[in-house]
Amino acid sequence: MRKKLYVGNLPFSATENEIRELFEKHGTVHSVNLITDRETGRPRGFGFVEMEQEEANAAKDALNGALFGERSLRVNEAHEPRWKGQNRGRR
């Protein structure tokens, strides 16, 4: 079963390939998605990594608080947004 991890406090210069290489030390990475601002296209400093559950747990334990580009990473289990699948009302 796959697990999605939230990765925060990323340097704005971080690339998807760099994050993939960092997490691949702990297992197979299925996807990396770094979030950018919709209007400017600039990085927002966080993203998501999807891995197999046991490997994701190992990566989370190893990388939460680890230094990457002089910043201390925050790695936690990602949660679905509260509004996903709910009726958000009409506009």
Q: Which residue has the tokens 């936690």?
A: 76
pLDDT in tens, 5-28: 999 999 999 999 999 999 999 999
Where the chain has pLDDT below 70, the residues are 83-91
Among 59, 50, 67, 58, which Cα is nearest to 11's? 67
Q: How far is CA 31 from CA 23, 68, 82, 87, 90, in A?
A: 10, 19, 22, 28, 33
Tokens 């991890």, residue located? 5
Four-way CATH pick for 2-77: 3.30.70.330, 3.50.50.60, 1.10.357.10, 1.20.140.10: 3.30.70.330
Q: Is residue 74 within a helix (H) or strand (E), and if so which, with residue range?
A: strand 74-77
pTM, to two decimals:
0.86
| Extents of the domains making up the chain | 2-77
